[in-house]
């Protein structure tokens, strides 16, 4: 069964550094998402992306965050200057059409020290 | 702003019995509801969904019930198996021409006792 793949599985970075989290969505999917889960908390929406542009973003997704689909397969989340509170599991998800389930990757654990 | 609530953080059920997980929502614009299962160090895995035009959807051992007037949904697992032990998240979305985000509840940790 096709799956969403995320790399790396764990990223450790120092505060103030830039990180790029990478995702390969399922190949025929059109809608792409980033979510995050801080330890012990709920899964929170960050951003949705469709037709090569952001369709919705949350309050968390401030100017330090950006997303890109540089080619036909990758979908990336960049954090320009990481903060301690950015430490979380980051999940990429995709879907092929409206009113269909989101398929999630296994996440990247980001640790900011 | 807890638009989707799962009031039971944990639930223990004997193997073979029925597990019932509950979820409440406050946003009347939600019209598509899903249940996800999550193991540690993995992403959420889709289990079952229901749209607001239905009040029940079944898939094998899993049944989701939706009570729109009460803004309540539940997931029934019967019979419960040890492999069902995981964290279960309820999620909801509203009509936004396909881009609608999912809003998740806080999760219920289900433990199946052999």
What does the pLDDT read at residue B95? 67
* pLDDT value, residue A70: 85
Token pair for A101: 């389930």
A4 CB neighbours in chain B (<8 A) are 43
> Which member of A45, A48, A93 has the closest CB to residue B103?
A45
The mean per-residue pLDDT over the stretch A55-73 comes to 92
Beta strands in chain A (DSSP E): 5-7, 10-13, 19-24, 31-37, 43-50, 53-57, 65-68, 75-79, 88-95, 103-104, 108-112
Query: Is the previous residue joined to B51 through a cis bond, with omega within 30 degrees of 0?
Result: no
Residue ranges of alpha helices (H) inside chain B are: none
pLDDT at B40: 87
Place A73 in a pLDDT band, splitting at 50, 70 and 90.
confident
Question: For the segment B7-30, what is each residue's pLDDT rounded down to a tens digit?
Answer: 999 999 999 999 999 999 999 889
The 8-class DSSP code of residue B103 comes to E
The token pair at B51 is: 């749209």
pLDDT value at residue B69:
95
- How close, in Å, is residue B75 to chain A by CA atoms? 16
Alpha-carbon distances of A13 from A20, A40, A90, rounded to whole Å = 11, 21, 14
The answer to whether residues B103 and B90 touch, using CB atoms and an 8 Å cutoff, is: no
CA distance A25 to chain B (A): 13
Q: What tens-digit pLDDT sequence spans chain B (114 residues)?
A: 679 999 999 999 999 999 999 999 999 889 999 999 999 889 999 999 999 999 999 999 999 999 999 999 999 999 999 999 999 999 998 865 555 789 999 999 999 999
Of B72 and A41, the structure prediction assigns the larger pLDDT to B72
> Which of A20-29, A51-60, B70-79, B99-108 comes out lowest in average pLDDT?
B99-108
Query: Hey, is the C-beta of A107 within 8 angstroms of any chain B C-beta?
Result: yes
Average pLDDT over every residue of A77-95: 96
- Identify the three-state secondary structure at position A85: helix
pLDDT band at A72 (very low <50, low <70, confident <90, very high): confident
Residues 6+ apart with CB under 8 A from B7: B22, B24
Whether B89 sits inside 8 A of A103 (CB atoms) is: no
């Amino acid at each position: 069964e096709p799956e969403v793949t995320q790399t790396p599985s764990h990223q450790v970075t120092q505060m103030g550094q830039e990180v790029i989290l990478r995702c390969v969505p399922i190949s025929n999917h059109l809608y792409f998402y980033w979510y995050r889960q801080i330890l012990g908390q709920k899964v929170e929406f960050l951003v949705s992306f469709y037709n090569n542009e952001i369709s919705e973003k949350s309050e968390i997704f401030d100017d330090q965050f950006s997303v890109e689909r540089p080619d036909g397969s990758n979908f990336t989340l960049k954090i320009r200057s990481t903060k301690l509170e950015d430490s979380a599991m980051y999940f990429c998800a995709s879907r092929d059409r409206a009113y269909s389930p989101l398929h999630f990757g296994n996440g990247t654990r980001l640790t900011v020290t | 702003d807890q638009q989707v609530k799962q009031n039971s953080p944990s639930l223990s059920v004997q193997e073979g019995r029925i597990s019932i997980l509950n979820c409440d929502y406050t946003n009347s614009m939600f019209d598509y509801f899903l249940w996800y299962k999550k193991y540690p160090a993995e992403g959420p895995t889709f289990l079952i969904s229901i749209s607001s035009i239905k009040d029940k959807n079944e898939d094998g051992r899993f049944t989701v019930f939706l009570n729109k007037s009460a803004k309540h949904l539940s997931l029934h697992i019967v019979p419960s198996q040890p492999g069902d032990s995981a964290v279960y998240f309820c999620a909801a979305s509203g009509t936004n021409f396909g881009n609608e985000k999912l809003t998740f509840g806080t999760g219920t940790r289900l433990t199946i006792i052999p």
